[in-house]
Chain A
């Protein structure tokens, strides 16, 4: 009887050892966070550098850049290119550029612009999901109002 009891005690110890070992395995291997250092750094750089580069990009509309077209969209809306007013032209151009630079990296994004808090008819939303990084750029219009550009890039 005593021998049997000792055997059972031994088995219990073995089961406990297995359980502890499995716990360590799950904690240190299965649940270990993967290195996302490169993703985090490049996401934070991508949003700000994209917005910065985007606004200075020269378009095929009379050689004006994106910033000029957005400012026109926010004020007079007088510029017309390819039978399109500045707002729809710049919206289409921004969508194309962001698709070529961000979607190709498997990143989703949201681009918006507003003047003194009122949304402009310029905006693209590719369905942001995952970790987000924001960049914004304020611009002063000739009328004194504040045009703000927002770009949110997601992983």
Chain B
């Protein structure tokens, strides 16, 4: 009788252990996605293809003219492969929140995953004006 109960408890213990391992694996996947989101964010903010050349002390700044060109470049077949290696499975949206109101999808290879938001300055080099923008990066 005791042996039966003991083996029953053992089975329950094994089920608990399996659940713990599954939970641990899910946690590891989430951590990896978080790290990937941070990595993609840093890569994007320091892409020479987007960085400002205004010379002011704005440290998260995107040149709007470069942005318009880059979105076309990224959509090109050969370049798409290059940027896929850099940014992986992610969705990058750049939007202006003040004074204008527009948004542009810069890169699109996924729509699932957690989103990270970073406020940035959008520099209009011809007018020499900075507008307030927001980058959304969704990493799958």
Contact = CB atoms under 8 A, between A and B. Distances in A.
A38 B129 contact: no
B119 A21 contact: no
B20 to A, nearest CB: 5
A42 B116 contact: yes
Given A38-B34, A101-B119, A14 B6 contact: yes
B118 A11 contact: no
Contacts of B83: none
A143 interface: no
The CB with the most chain B CB atoms within 10 A, among A13, A24, A37, A56, is that of A56
Contacts of A54: 119, 132
A56 B58 contact: yes
Secondary structure at the A interface, as helix, strand, loop or mixed, is: helix
Given A11-B2, A63-B129, A37 B31 contact: yes
Given A17-B9, A35-B30, A60 B41 contact: no
A51 to B, nearest CB: 9
B118 A42 contact: yes
Nearest to A36: B34
A134 interface: no
Contact of B5 (A11, A24, A58, A100): A11
Contacts of A101: 97, 117, 119, 132, 134
A49 B37 CA distance: 17
A52 B27 CA distance: 34
Contacts of B125: none
B134 A14 contact: no
A45 B20 CA distance: 33
A10 interface: yes
Given A21-B12, A53-B130, A57-B130, A10 B2 contact: yes
Nearest to A48: B59
A105 interface: yes
B56 interface: yes
B114 interface: yes
A57 B98 contact: yes
A29 interface: yes
Interface of B: 1-2, 5-6, 9, 12-13, 16, 19-20, 23, 27, 30-31, 33-35, 37-38, 41, 56-61, 97-99, 114, 116-121, 129-134
11 contacts: A14-B5, A17-B6, A21-B9, A38-B116, A41-B34, A52-B121, A53-B133, A56-B57, A57-B132, A63-B129, A93-B98
> 5 nearest interchain CB pairs?
A10-B2, A38-B34, A100-B97, A58-B129, A53-B121
